[in-house]
Structure 1
Amino acid sequence: MTEPTSTFGRRLRAHRERAGLTRPVLGGLVGRSAEWVKAIEGGRLLPPRLPMLLRLAEVLDISDLADLTGSQPLPVASVTRAGHPDVDRVAAAMKRTNPPAGDPTTAVVLRGLVDQAWTLWHRSSTERGAVAAVLPHLLDDARVSARRLEGTDRRAALVELARVYHLAQLYAADQPYPELVWLAADRAMAAAQDADDPAAIAAAAWYYAHVYRASNQTDAAEQVLVDAAALLDPTAGGEQLARWGQAQLGMALAHSKRGRSGQAWRAWDAADEAANRLGGGYVHPWLMFGPAACAAYGVTVEIDLARPGEAIRRAGRTDYSSLPSRTRRATHLVDAARAHMMRGEDVAVVHLLGRALRESVDTVRHRPHARMAIMELTGRRGTVGEDARELALAIGLDG
């Protein structure tokens, strides 16, 4: 009678050890105790229900629940990630091997077009639909210009091409198409390196590190940021300092994902110091780096370190309205909701997810942590369940 349970427990332990997580860290990340993890791994508790299985799978980077349960295959992404209706059109533009025919766009005009696309991403409440309308043509324009312009104009076009691929990566993220995310990150880095532009390489490293962290390759995430930061001179101030500070922030996130508290906070302190040197109200125009972003990512660091109480306290001191980006505000509000979810504070979770939804429907619809929280809370009784079911309806979450 205990064999199925103990088999599940052995699988869970193997995946936890492969991910380099201790029992307290894994328990904290899914809102349970180290003792609960030990009891599950030892077969003293039955395997959890689907919402908790999905939370475990996301934390452990498991793509198919059968790897945990040993039962029928169930791709995790089919439940936790929603595909955007325009993804095929964007994917076709990304995968095109040769640029189309046509005249190049001047570097100055191209930069203006890319700036406009980034504005759509940050200011729309349905950012994926907004950028999907312009991404295919913008990718074509940028690739034609990077291929056909010469000299400094070509280098400038390559920098803009990298920025377009960053947008493509953000568009594809949190959807069941990881190959598109890797493709965008790799092509952005290639364009930045071809441009021989340290600031562009640093931005590409920031986005490449996201992909590495998502696949639990935290050492690779740290290394790409270390290499990029070495190309910058933070004493120069301005753009160099902002890109250097963002690299430090990325290192903090890599270390926290690995549970390395001291290293995470040292890197975060360096990022925060850089942000404050740029000015209390500073916000990078499209990367959004600045004091407000550092404060919000401090909450993420605490969550990754399985310290939800500290995360909640930091969130309470964070002025999310200082982030001039609907997508960023929504993302960080989802993170604050995660901290409350880890402590079983359902009312706060529903409240914060509702705030996030008012900022960006797309962010809540596509963020796995938001989808899993809503899915779990729809089964609650009373107003929490009612509110969660309204959220589920708003983001098109079935069941």
Structure 2
Amino acid sequence: MTDPATFGARLRAYRERAGKTRPVLGGLVGRSAEWVKALENGRLLPPRLPMLIRLAEVLDISDLADLTGDQSLPVASVTRAGHPDVDTVAAAMQRAAAPAGDLKQSDVLRGLVDQAWSLWHRSSVERSAVAAVLPGLLGDAQRSARRLDGQARRAALVELARVYHLAQLYLAHQPYPELVWLAADRAMRAAQDADDPSAIAVAAWYYAHVYRSSNQIDLAEHLLVDAAAMVDPAAGREQLARWGQVQLGIALGHSKAGRAGQAWRAWDAAEQAASRLGDRYAHPWLMFGPAACTAYGVTIETDLCRPGEAIRRADTADYSLLPSRTRRAAALIDAARAHLLDRGEVAAIHLLGRALRESVDTVRHNPYARTAALELSSRPGTVGEDARELGLAIGVQG
């Protein structure tokens, strides 16, 4: 068994490296500051595997051995589920040059990219749906961006950035984290080569995701603030939507860093932009709109370790207004996260089940959903039974 004192010293070192206080770390894993203190002082034995994994995720630890001192267990082996087609998509991403093929004009390419985004949002197995078209679409977009000239080339570069955004979403939480970074970087480069501020703003939104996932919160904020300055929210609905999306990204960074006031100021700016677009507005592929702002409000309160407020927001949310199965599933997972922070295990497992009905792939590849199913599977009664069923459906067994 791991020495509690040694484990506690490691936990404290990693907590301090991550810049998290005991109350923040405890809140993020559903425990108290006193519980964290007892672990660090060696007064409690190290927790069971599901909680160890959750601690490792929050502290950006890739191998549990770094925390426990025991045999190696990559956190990704539990939290990252490889899609059956991931190697095919990865090979397409790793190509040095586009394969030979017919040239697609920019308007034709735009239609193909729109169709791929529609597959992503409307399918309950979105990764399987886009995996069938993504490798070919990457080649089409790369060829068009290389072979077209002038304005047509700029338009093709904008579409190439959109394809890389889709690739980033597909590759997220899978065994190729370096390709997530590559997709974000290539998308930004394509948007910059197109010299299109709107495309750069969206590329910043997606790049900020990978910065936040590696706890580079300030880099994410700087990128988004610069992007927001490039977009004029008074220049039409499209510009307003993209500006609002960037504000949401700024809010998510502040909430992850525990800066409540700054998070809600940025969220307010996003919500005001969304309200100007109309109560039922949703961007056709970014999905920005009032419903998205409501969902991210739950995320922000949960990240700030205020589960009561998060639950209140979640209870008033109309998820049917999100015209995307994967976004609805992600929002339901965040609502489940809030309930579990509040010890509401029955509500959490119910919401995870609802999320699974919206999108199998979203739940299967969501690290929080996987660790929650693993942790709750040990509970007695209905919660444990439902968690074990959920675990079987998403490939996690306790």
TM-score band w.r.t. shorter chain: over 0.9
CA distance in 2 between counterparts of 1:198 and 1:80 reads 35
Shift of 1:341: 1.1
Aligned to 1:232: 231
CA distance in 2 between counterparts of 1:240 and 1:379 reads 48
CA distance in 2 between counterparts of 1:176 and 1:52 reads 21
Shift of 1:194: 0.3
AA in 1 matched with 2:387: A
- Runs of 5+ consecutive residues of structure 1 not aligned to the other structure: none
Aligned to 1:65: 64
Tell me, what secondary structure is at the counterpart of 1:71? coil
Deviation per CA, 1:305-357: give whole Å up to 9, x if none.
Answer: 11111111110111111000000000010010011111221110110001000
Deviation per CA, 1:27-52: give whole Å up to 9, x if none.
Answer: 01100001111111111111111000
CA distance in 2 between counterparts of 1:108 and 1:88 reads 30
* Bigger mean CA offset, 39-48 vs 185-194: 39-48
* Bigger mean CA offset, 380-389 vs 211-220: 380-389
Aligned to 1:282: 281
Matched-pair contact (CA < 8 Å) for 2:251–2:262? yes
CA distance in 2 between counterparts of 1:171 and 1:178 reads 11
Shift of 1:102: 2.6
CA distance in 2 between counterparts of 1:64 and 1:343 reads 28
Aligned to 2:390: 391
Aligned to 1:152: 151
Shift of 1:268: 0.5
Counting only pairs closer than 5 Å after superposition, residues 92-103 of structure 1 correspond to structure 2 as 92-103=91-102
Aligned to 1:30: 29
Shift of 1:377: 1.0
Shift of 1:277: 1.0
Deviation per CA, 1:217-259: give whole Å up to 9, x if none.
Answer: 0001111111111111112231111111110100000000100
Aligned to 1:84: 83
**TM-score, with normalisation over the residues of structure 2?**
0.99
Shift of 1:196: 0.5
Aligned to 1:14: 13
CA distance in 2 between counterparts of 1:249 and 1:112 reads 27
Aligned to 2:194: 195
CA distance in 2 between counterparts of 1:153 and 1:18 reads 48
Aligned to 2:291: 292
Tell me, what secondary structure is at the counterpart of 1:259? coil
Tell me, what secondary structure is at the counterpart of 1:235? coil
CA distance in 2 between counterparts of 1:365 and 1:325 reads 17
Matched-pair contact (CA < 8 Å) for 2:7–2:40? yes
CA distance in 2 between counterparts of 1:17 and 1:318 reads 36
Give the aligned length: 398
Deviation per CA, 1:45-79: give whole Å up to 9, x if none.
Answer: 11111000011111111100011101111100001
CA distance in 2 between counterparts of 1:43 and 1:29 reads 20
Matched-pair contact (CA < 8 Å) for 1:308–1:339? yes
Aligned to 1:341: 340
Matched-pair contact (CA < 8 Å) for 1:57–1:76? yes
Shift of 1:103: 3.0
**TM-score, with normalisation over the residues of structure 1?**
0.98
Deviation per CA, 1:358-392: give whole Å up to 9, x if none.
Answer: 00000111101000111111111111111111111
Shift of 1:271: 0.6
Tell me, what secondary structure is at the counterpart of 1:236? coil
Shift of 1:113: 0.2
Deviation per CA, 1:265-316: give whole Å up to 9, x if none.
Answer: 1100011011111111111000000010001000000111111111111101
Tell me, what secondary structure is at the counterpart of 1:306? coil
Matched-pair contact (CA < 8 Å) for 2:388–2:397? no
**1:48 matches 2:47:** yes
Counting only pairs closer than 5 Å after superposition, residues 321-336 of structure 1 correspond to structure 2 as 321-336=320-335
CA distance in 2 between counterparts of 1:103 and 1:371 reads 42
CA distance in 2 between counterparts of 1:390 and 1:144 reads 45
Aligned to 2:166: 167
Matched-pair contact (CA < 8 Å) for 1:198–1:231? yes
AA in 1 matched with 2:285: W
AA in 2 matched with 1:256: S
CA distance in 1 between counterparts of 2:280 and 2:213 reads 30
Matched-pair contact (CA < 8 Å) for 1:237–1:278? no
CA distance in 2 between counterparts of 1:283 and 1:19 reads 36
CA distance in 1 between counterparts of 2:73 and 2:220 reads 28
Matched-pair contact (CA < 8 Å) for 2:8–2:42? yes
Counting only pairs closer than 5 Å after superposition, residues 217-366 of structure 1 correspond to structure 2 as 217-366=216-365
CA distance in 2 between counterparts of 1:218 and 1:16 reads 16
Aligned to 2:137: 138
Shift of 1:16: 1.1
Matched-pair contact (CA < 8 Å) for 2:15–2:59? yes
Matched-pair contact (CA < 8 Å) for 1:330–1:355? yes
CA distance in 2 between counterparts of 1:56 and 1:100 reads 43
Tell me, what secondary structure is at the counterpart of 1:199? helix
Aligned to 1:111: 110
AA in 2 matched with 1:281: R
CA distance in 1 between counterparts of 2:86 and 2:15 reads 33
Shift of 1:144: 0.2
Matched-pair contact (CA < 8 Å) for 1:192–1:201? yes
Shift of 1:181: 0.4
Q: Give the fraction of aligned pairs with identical amino acids, expressed as a percent.
A: 78
Matched-pair contact (CA < 8 Å) for 1:121–1:131? yes
* Bigger mean CA offset, 171-180 vs 356-365: 171-180
CA distance in 2 between counterparts of 1:176 and 1:27 reads 28
Shift of 1:176: 2.3
AA in 2 matched with 1:396: G
Tell me, what secondary structure is at the counterpart of 2:278? coil
Tell me, what secondary structure is at the counterpart of 1:362? helix
CA distance in 2 between counterparts of 1:292 and 1:235 reads 21
Counting only pairs closer than 5 Å after superposition, residues 112-127 of structure 1 correspond to structure 2 as 112-127=111-126
CA distance in 1 between counterparts of 2:354 and 2:390 reads 11
Task: Give the RMSD, CA atoms, in angstroms.
Answer: 1.1
